[in-house]
Structure 1
Amino acid sequence: MLALARPIRYARTIPINPVLRQFHSAPSPLAQYHFDTADYVTRLESHGLSRTQAEGVIDTLEEIIGESIQTMQGNLVTRAEQDKHHYQQKVDFASLKQTLELSEKTDFVNLKAENERLLGDIERLKQRLREEITRTQAGVRLDLNLEKGRIRDELSTRVVKLADVDTRIENEIGLLRTSMEAVKFNILQYAFAVMSGTGALLLAYLRMFAH
């Protein structure tokens, strides 16, 4: 029992290499590790433990090591799982690439269709603009022709009116000339009558004084 008073020598903790968490094609050496429990029981007995105590310690250590190995094995990945994961990544990448290519083609087709639609709209707008310009020019020409016709008609009407006025003036002038000629003739007749009467009176007066 005095041996139990000895200080317990703790085993040095060995850090687990991070490489163990990477992928492996073969099982870990820890999974195949076995130790001689009888030898360790004997060693513990040599340090003052009873056989029952030594066997209990060894059983506990065996359980702890087994659980540790199972935990580490749970964190490891087999070669088959690695290949499966790699294949799945390749499939996902190929699917993503195909999806991107299809999306790019779809976007290109949609962009091309949209561009063609815009070109069609622009062409239709140009056609409508040309038609509107042609219609406007035709309307302007029609208005100009109508205005020219109206001006010609108005000029013709004014020419007719001026000709009518000229005719009236000529008629009035002719009537005035006729009236003046008649007045002149009447004046001449009156003067001739006066002169004839005056001459007759003079002759009568001269005859009267001659006798």
Structure 2
Amino acid sequence: MMFNGLKARSSLGLKSNFNPSYSLIIYKIIFKKKFHSTIPKNLNSNFDTQHFVEELEQNGFTSKQSQTAVKIFTDSINDSFKIFGSNLITKEKLSKLSYQQKVDFAKLKSELQTTDRSEFNKIKNEYEYLKDDLEKVRIKLKEEINRSLSSVRLDLNLEKGRIREESSIHDLKIKETDTRIDQEISNIKMQIDSVKTQVMQWLIGVCTGTFALVLAYVRLMT
């Protein structure tokens, strides 16, 4: 951009027979110089214009051409520095911006810490609330279990008593049945003995009658 500006401005102050190769000579002379890495406010503080004029004259320029070229070059560079510098932030603005960023960061950090602390307290309160609820549920569940166990124990005791009572009744009925069976057996035995006596009496009578008939028959035959 500066080189194009240099060629444009050269047509204003140099002769019409200005050789284009002069622009290349000027370019080489300019860029073989060592410039500082920092940007100066203007070119004159870091650029030896007299030495530059002398080098141009040594390369075939007239004194007027050399001075005009140096003026065009310095004006172009200074304009470029002004344009470039206007786009740069000053140290004071940079410090203010840095300070503002630090303030914003501190504010953001404080807000985040406050938010984190608030969220932590909220979570802690919810945890304590849930803990209390769980403790209440645990106590209630324990009471329900104890109540259920007591009811089950009572039912078991009642069932055991009922079973014992029924067992006693069954035992009594069994004893009564055994006694009745024994009585029936005794009665049957007595009946059998009576029948035996009657049968024996009947047999004795039959035998006696038979023996009498035999004796009578024998007597008749004799």
Structure 1 unaligned spans of 5+: 22-27, 184-211
1:15 corresponds to 2:27: no
Please tell me the residue identity of whatever aligns with 2:166: E
1:151 corresponds to 2:163: yes
% same residue? 35
Q: CA RMSD in A?
A: 4.6
Which of the numbers 38, 41, 49 marks the counterpart of 2:62?
49
User: Structure 2 vs 1, CA of residues 34 and 165 (structure 1 numbering), >3 Å: closer, same or farther?
Assistant: closer
1:122 corresponds to 2:134: yes
1:105 corresponds to 2:81: no
The correspondence of residues 30-179 of structure 1 with structure 2, limited to 5 A, is: 30=42, 33=45, 48-49=61-62, 51=64, 53-54=65-66, 56-74=68-86, 76-162=88-174, 164-165=176-177, 168=180
User: Structure 2 vs 1, CA of residues 173 and 56 (structure 1 numbering), >3 Å: closer, same or farther?
Assistant: same
State the Cα distance separating 1:167 from its structure 2 match.
Answer: 7.0
Please tell me the residue identity of whatever aligns with 1:16: H
User: Structure 2 vs 1, CA of residues 41 and 151 (structure 1 numbering), >3 Å: closer, same or farther?
Assistant: closer
User: Structure 2 vs 1, CA of residues 41 and 110 (structure 1 numbering), >3 Å: closer, same or farther?
Assistant: closer
Please tell me the residue identity of whatever aligns with 1:95: K
User: Structure 2 vs 1, CA of residues 35 and 131 (structure 1 numbering), >3 Å: closer, same or farther?
Assistant: closer
Normalising by structure 2, we get a TM-score of 0.53
User: Structure 2 vs 1, CA of residues 97 and 109 (structure 1 numbering), >3 Å: closer, same or farther?
Assistant: same
Structure 2 unaligned spans of 5+: 1-14, 195-222
Whether the 8 Å CA contact 2:57–2:63 is kept in 1: the answer is yes
Whether the 8 Å CA contact 2:53–2:70 is kept in 1: the answer is no
SS of the aligned residue for 2:42 comes to helix
| Corresponding pairs, count | 171
User: Structure 2 vs 1, CA of residues 45 and 141 (structure 1 numbering), >3 Å: closer, same or farther?
Assistant: closer
State the Cα distance separating 1:169 from its structure 2 match.
Answer: 6.8
Q: Quick check: 149-158 or 71-80, which moved more?
A: 71-80
State the Cα distance separating 1:109 from its structure 2 match.
Answer: 1.2
User: Structure 2 vs 1, CA of residues 83 and 175 (structure 1 numbering), >3 Å: closer, same or farther?
Assistant: same
In 2: Cα distance, 1:161 partner to 1:41 partner: 145
